């Protein structure tokens, strides 16, 4: 039963990362469209006051990634043949090849175009899924990346209280943007299907933000502990040799 619970918790952690990435990708596409059509398109007006407010929703997705990943990093699930990041790289590479062959867009461009193509949307989902697997296991990719992440964690520890407050604010905006899109979609049901993804994703992002705030996720962050150095044979024998001389 304990093993099942660990696996479920690990899966939940990856799901949180995946949802954050969906929110980031969806909002990035909206922001891109907003600036490309500025000032002629006012997204989800009159319910959304300004399209620039989506930047706060974007920040909510980014801020939720680290504490979401930390839930899984605290668990020891072992690995099936390879580390998670190997499967992540495989999914990313396979998806990139699929997108290049079956769509007229690049992997990057497909997140900034409005398309109902099954191939494009499948490419988006699988690419973000592979990225979620990679981010979940990112410290194990290389020592340099682990060192960079530890440095980032140390800096985050120094501003943990502002990050905690920022998570509250951005979580509120994620809710607000989700509600605005929902109300706009009720008025214009023609975009009900494509809008449903961003509505649900931003709602989950908002819920996740408040849940992590309640847990004090950023307040509980601790700087990485330095790894103990391995003493050489000479260093190990030196104190004993000194003791014998004294005797």
Q: Would the pLDDT of 116 be above 60? A: yes
Does residue 167 form part of some domain?
yes
Does residue 170 form part of some domain?
yes
**Residue 63 half-sphere exposure, CB side, CA atoms within 13 Å?**
31
> What's the confidence (pLDDT) of residue 46?
92
Q: How far apart are CA 227 and CA 229, in angstroms?
A: 6
> What's the confidence (pLDDT) of residue 156?
92
∠ Cα 137 127 21 (to 5°): 70
The lowest-confidence range among 43-47, 60-64, 133-137 is: 133-137
Would you list the DSSP string of 1-53? Answer: -HHHHHHHHHHHHHHHHHHHHHHHHHHHHHHHHHHHSTTT--TTTTTSS-GGG
> What's the predicted TM-score (pTM) here?
0.85
**How confident is residue 206, by pLDDT bands cut at 50, 70 and 90?**
very high
Mean pLDDT within 228-244: 50
Q: How far apart are CA 105 and CA 91, in angstroms?
A: 18
Domain span holding position 240: 2-83+137-246
Which has the closest alpha carbon to 181: 13, 52, 54, 37? Answer: 54
Does residue 237 form part of some domain?
yes
Does residue 20 form part of some domain?
yes
> What's the confidence (pLDDT) of residue 232?
47
Number of domains in the chain: 1
Does a cis peptide bond (omega within 30 degrees of 0) precede residue 46?
Answer: yes
Check if the beta carbon of residue 98 is closer than 8 Å to that of residue 247. no
Does residue 211 form part of some domain?
yes
Q: Give Cα separations from 52 to 22, 56, 143, 191 (angstroms).
A: 19, 8, 38, 21
Does residue 207 form part of some domain?
yes
Does residue 219 form part of some domain?
yes
> What's the confidence (pLDDT) of residue 85?
82
Does residue 53 form part of some domain?
yes
> What's the confidence (pLDDT) of residue 245?
47
Q: What is the pLDDT of residues 74-112, one digit of tens each?
A: 655 555 545 778 889 999 999 999 999 999 999 999 999
**How confident is residue 193, by pLDDT bands cut at 50, 70 and 90?**
confident
> What's the confidence (pLDDT) of residue 9?
81
Check if the beta carbon of residue 124 is closer than 8 Å to that of residue 25. yes
The lowest-confidence range among 5-19, 192-206, 223-237 is: 223-237
């Amino acid at each position: 039963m304990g093993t099942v619970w660990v696996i479920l918790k690990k899966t939940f952690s990856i799901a949180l990362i995946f949802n954050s990435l969906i929110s980031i990708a969806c909002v990035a596409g909206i922001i891109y469209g907003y600036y490309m059509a500025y000032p002629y398109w006012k997204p989800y007006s009159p319910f959304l006051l300004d399209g620039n407010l989506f930047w706060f929703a974007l920040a909510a997705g980014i801020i939720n990634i680290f504490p979401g990943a930390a839930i899984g990093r605290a668990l020891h699930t072992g690995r099936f043949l390879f580390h998670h990041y190997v499967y992540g790289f495989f999914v990313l590479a396979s998806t990139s090849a699929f997108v290049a062959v079956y769509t007229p867009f690049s992997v990057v461009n497909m997140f900034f175009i409005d398309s109902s193509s099954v191939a494009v949307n499948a490419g988006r989902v699988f690419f973000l899924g592979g990225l979620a697997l990679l981010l979940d296991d990112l410290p194990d990719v290389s020592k340099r990346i682990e060192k960079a992440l530890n440095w980032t964690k140390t800096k985050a520890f120094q501003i943990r209280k502002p990050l905690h407050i920022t998570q509250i604010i951005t979580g509120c905006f994620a809710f607000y943007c989700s509600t605005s899109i929902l109300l706009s979609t009720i008025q214009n049901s023609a975009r009900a299907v494509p809008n449903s993804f961003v509505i649900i994703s931003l709602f989950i992002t908002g819920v996740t933000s408040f849940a992590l705030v309640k847990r004090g996720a950023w307040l509980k962050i601790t700087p990485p502990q330095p790894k103990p150095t391995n003493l050489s044979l000479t260093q190990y024998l030196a104190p004993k040799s000194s003791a014998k001389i004294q005797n």
